[in-house]
Chains A and B, each alone.
Chain A
Amino acid sequence: MKKRIVLLLLALAMLAILSVPALAVKDPVEIAVSEEALTVTLSDDLQQAQADGETYVRFNDKRLSGYYKWGDYEVLLTEDQKQTIESAEVQAHNYTKALSVTLFYKDGAKLSVSYIREDILEAYQGLLTTDDCVVHFHYPEENTVKLPLGVARGEEEILFRDDLYNGSRFDVSALGESGLEVDRGSLLIKGEEYYYADYDELGTTDLYSQERFKVWHITDEALCAELDKAMEAYYGSDLGWLEDQEFSEQVSKVFLIILFMVIPGAALILFFVLAIRAKTPVYKKLFWNLCAWSALVLIVAVTVVLVVQLN
């Protein structure tokens, strides 16, 4: 009992020691964009931007990379800043890549500050119009290819939802006026062919909701060669054959057959024989129990196959 009391006292002492830092709170001193534990200070850039009379500044901050959160950003204003700033709004197009803050001043002025990750910004270097896009090959490594839409719009074709499941899809984005990326469409890969689906033309960003949809077959040889090269690099950075959907599906089917048919089937036969031969009631009960579970698994597996085949 004494030991338990000592342990509890130790835990309470730890509570007291660790409570101290939480009580030592100071006033906020700067404008900051809250990203959980990560803080990106905007104040200097804001002052510079105001002095230059710009409407927005692009500001590269490596610290944004890798950050991921499904939530809202928040701007904290100090009492001094509240004298001149009415409110601040944070818009985030892509939480891992870019972020934009708009400050509304009491005198009616408005200032937007945008962040974009340096490597993403580099991907857009050399592109002149907002109609020039970039394809992002994400995971396992980030890789980008410039995709001028004028060139990408080759021949008009129709693709079906099943083509999405049997192929690959990658985001096609442009750099919008606010300095943030805007998704313009998708690059679809079916077999060895490339297609571009434009969200504006389709009126939706969710291709999976469409039974059939219009796409542009990319026929430009130079662009296809560049995409081929990027795809090779994309698959080359991982075990390429593992990414092969068809191969993966075949292996998956073999595994499912072994797990749901071969193992329960073998178990059913084995334990049926053992249950019949068992002499003691306990073992009879245990083996019949195993037979019952094996049979149930087989019944479920056969039902699934029948449901799929009959439909």
Chain B
Amino acid sequence: MLKKLLKYDFKAVLKIWWIAAAAVLVLSPVAGLCLKVTNSMRSFPAVVEVVAVLGLVLGYIALLVFVLLTVIVLAMRFYKNFFTDEGYLTFTLPVRRGQLLNSKLIVSLATHLMTFFVCGLSILLMLLVGEEDFIAQFREFWIEFWEIPRQEGFLGWAILYVVEFAVILLLGIVFSELFLDCCVTFGCIVAKKAKVAASIGIYYAASNVFSFVLTIFLMFGISSLGSWLSAVNIAETAAYALIALLFFGVIAIMALFCSLLYTLQYWMLDRKLNLP
């Protein structure tokens, strides 16, 4: 049954998403050409330069809009499928609440990853067209990126860090999606009318509080943690292991928060849902 849920969720999200993805991919070589013009040493008529700058700005805005659109499309699908008239049908389907939530979560994660891929591809296309010797520069960067760990003899650890970092990114996507869905759910449960506005308001307030706490933590935490780690007098291998362990700690705490949000959302849908 989960397969069927996934099919219909993907269908609902991708029917809008693919247009935006195609538009971004089409615009990226154009933005690349504009980048070429603005980078060029050759002089152009003022109108041409203005159009080139505008084209470049358009390229960047298209990327931003695309990312924003993905979030909105996913949130709208979640809202419509659960909290409008469609919700009556959704919650009478012969599936468990968990399967409904899992389907939404899997589709969100997959769509965000596809958005990430399309954005990466778009930037790559733009730079390939707009930057001379981009491939050579990228190759140089890539070699240099791995050269330091190779020279210092911690290549294996560096690969582990990259893998851990990728897991942290994935959990970050899951967390942000669950956070948004929780706010929508809460907004729809507490508000009798104007549920969308209530959801947006709750999301805005909650994300501001979360950002504030996170900013304070980053302001004090990261730099001091770095200097504290540097000052800890331990053997080199132990230090590498300690960093890997810290990353693992971050993964574990993010997983804990994701589970917490998932449970909260499940509980709200299971016990507090009251469709109009």
Contacts and interface: CB of A to CB of B under 8 A. Distances in A.
Interface string B96-109: 11100000000000
B34 interface: yes
B249 interface: yes
B37 to A, nearest CB: 5
A27 B40 CA distance: 11
B228 A249 contact: yes
Nearest to B270: A282
Nearest to B235: A311
Contacts of A304: 242, 245-246, 249
Instruction: Kindly state the interface size class of chain B when it binds its partner.
Output: 35 or more
B29 interface: yes
Contacts of A39: 41
B27 A165 contact: no
Interface in A6-55: 7-8, 11-12, 14-15, 18-22, 24-29, 32, 34, 36-37, 39
Given A249-B227, A255-B217, A308-B234, A267 B249 contact: no
A307 B217 contact: no
A245 interface: yes
A293 B256 contact: yes
B230 A165 contact: yes
B231 A290 contact: no
A24 B44 contact: yes
Interface string A268-289: 0000000000000011001101
Given A260-B249, A300-B249, A290 B260 contact: yes
A26 B27 CA distance: 24
Contact of A18 (B51, B216, B223, B256): B51
16 contacts: A11-B22, A11-B26, A15-B30, A18-B55, A19-B30, A21-B52, A26-B44, A37-B38, A248-B224, A303-B245, A304-B245, A304-B249, A307-B238, A307-B242, A307-B245, A311-B234
Interface of B: 19, 22-23, 26-27, 29-31, 33-34, 36-45, 48-49, 51-52, 55, 58, 96-98, 137, 216-217, 219-221, 223-225, 227-228, 230-235, 238, 241-242, 245-246, 248-249, 252-253, 255-256, 259-260, 262-263, 266-267
Interface of A: 4, 7-8, 11-12, 14-15, 18-22, 24-29, 32, 34, 36-37, 39, 71, 76, 162, 165-166, 242, 245, 248-249, 251-253, 255-256, 259-260, 263-264, 267, 282-283, 286-287, 289-290, 293-294, 296-297, 300-301, 303-304, 307-308, 311
